[in-house]
């Protein structure tokens, strides 16, 4: 039976070490958004020995390109994008302290190994539920790469943002373990 856990960012190694695949997690605090174009720019900066536009130590990056906000709302629909497009960049960001990622879909074996090595987790958010997920976002502000439009890096203040642990710090994979339950041998 999976646990329901409340976490506040920034996350510590202890926070992520206690998580297990299938755990339902409600995240509160600040999370950042980023998709492939923003990730590429961040890695380019690191490769040039420069600092990132945001301090991602202990932070969670949500793979999302939110829709524009309606009047009176902090953000529009904010559903997860497919995570594998960030696989080339995620290990490097974990090396410098990123603790979590939120998206949908499988991660590459190298990313899962980097999670084990660097003590980070991958959370799944429900695809197709962007309007519902946006209700947990209380404030949104573009903090870097404004020229990327929806793919700019946003600083989101979230309250009880619902996710599920897909990959934990032990290298376990919910998609693999879940499939085993239904496999006919």
Torsion sign across C-alpha atoms 34, 37, 41, 46: positive
> What single DSSP character describes residue 50?
P
| Average pLDDT of the chain, as a whole number | 94
Model confidence pLDDT, tens digit, residues 17-55: 999 999 999 999 999 999 999 999 999 999 999 999 999
CATH number of the domain bearing residue 60: 3.20.130.10
What is the structure's pLDDT at 1?
Answer: 45
* Residue 182 in this model has a pLDDT that exceeds 90: no
Structural domains in the chain (count): 1
Q: Which domain holds residue 146?
A: 4-182
Q: Which residue has the higher pLDDT, 146 or 184?
A: 146
Model confidence pLDDT, tens digit, residues 133-181: 999 999 999 999 999 999 999 999 999 999 999 999 999 999 888 777 7
DSSP state string for 108-120? -HHHHHHHHHHT-
């Amino acid at each position: 039976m999976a646990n329901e856990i409340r976490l506040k960012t920034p996350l510590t190694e202890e926070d992520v070490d206690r998580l297990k695949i299938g755990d339902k997690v409600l995240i509160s605090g600040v999370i950042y958004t980023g998709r492939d174009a923003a990730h590429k720019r961040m890695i380019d900066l690191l490769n040039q020995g420069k600092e990132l536009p945001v301090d991602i130590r202990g932070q969670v990056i949500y793979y999302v390109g939110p829709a524009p906000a309606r009047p009176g709302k902090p953000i529009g629909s904010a559903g997860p994008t497919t995570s594998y497009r960030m696989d080339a960049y995620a290990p490097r960001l974990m090396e410098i302290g990123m603790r979590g990622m939120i998206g949908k879909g499988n991660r590459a074996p190298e990313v899962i190994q980097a999670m084990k090595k660097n003590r980070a987790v991958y959370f799944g958010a429900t695809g197709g539920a962007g309007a519902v997920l946006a209700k947990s976002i209380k404030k949104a502000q573009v903090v870097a790469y404004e020229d990327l439009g929806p793919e700019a890096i946003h600083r989101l203040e979230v309250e009880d943002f619902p996710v599920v642990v897909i990959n934990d710090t032990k290298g376990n994979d919910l998609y693999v373990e879940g499939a085993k339950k239904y496999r006919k041998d």
